[in-house]
Homo-oligomer: A and B are copies of this chain.
Amino acid sequence: MMLRALRKFFLLNLLAATALGAEATKPKAPTMAEIRAASKPADWRPLDPEQTIYVEFAAGRVVIELVPAFAPRHVANVKVLARERYYDGLAIVRAQDNYVVQWGDPDAEKPGQAPKIQSASRTLPAEFERKLDPKISFTRLPDGDVYAREVGFSLGLPVARDARTGKMWLVHAYGMVGAGRDHAPDSGGGTELYVVIGHSPRHLDRNVTLLGRVVQGMELLSALPRGTGPMGFYEQAEQRVPIKSIRVAAEVPEAERSTLEVMRTDTATFQALVASRRHRREAWFQAPVGRIEVCNVPLPVRAQGQASR
């Protein structure tokens, strides 16, 4: 008897939308579901197994797409760390409500602890932003942004740009993955990674290196019990969530891979999706929205070869 509850609040009414009078004044942008259904194979790209990591927990797998175009050294280092099994047996040590989940080595400073790092780097120069390359396709959003002069999407990710400084950078949207650091800007490197689980903390943009995005399994991180210590650190060792392993997808036998596709953001289909999210056509909406903020644009993911999910 969930029907009424299901219908309440935010129903994507694909059948009856045009029958309602209120629709007559709304732009006729199709819904997101219709855009997905009508998309062509070329609107999607498969994840590159060499630029994808799997974080394995007892509860399941989190799939992260790495972004070498924005953080080449950090991405390379995370992959070396994964390949030399640095992360295996570490744990989520922090879950701060409306902010981040973070994992790392809780024993990193324990006296006598053998250094686990082999050929990887413990720290790296910051990669907070990169040179604005006009050859990298950029789908700009038209409605402005509180934190940056320009925002939009490059390479499937939320990006800000500033032509005055000649820089572009990834923004701290929900699900973005970054490299924790200490006070010094070059004190990160990927040994500790965090994931945004709340309202986008955009004040972190250009203050810390972002290197990827969770494309599947967010609920394994966002629904973790919050830590009760300062900044959401778990106070008891047994509260930490063990990481079984982190693997570069290319290392994993093909049959065990998560074969996902993400929607390209340099296509007419993605432009249509943005338009449909700016002008909500679903029957539920009363007020014209007509605007969108970069962190409210969905970035669709589907199983490879599936028409929709």
Contacts and interface: CB of A to CB of B under 8 A. Distances in A.
Contacts of A203: 277, 280, 285, 289, 292, 296
A106 B9 contact: no
A280 B277 CA distance: 33
Given A183-B11, A293-B147, A219 B226 contact: yes
Interface string A238-249: 000000000000
B208 A9 contact: yes
A9 B102 contact: yes
Contacts of A8: 104, 180-182, 187, 192
Which of A94, A126, A199, A207 lies at the interface centre, i.e. has the most chain B CB atoms within 10 A of its CB?
Answer: A199
A194 B8 CA distance: 11
A161 to B, nearest CB: 15
Contacts of A199: 173-174, 198-200, 295-296
Given A9-B208, A207-B287, 9 more contacts: A1-B110, A2-B93, A4-B109, A4-B182, A5-B105, A98-B218, A146-B293, A207-B286, A222-B226
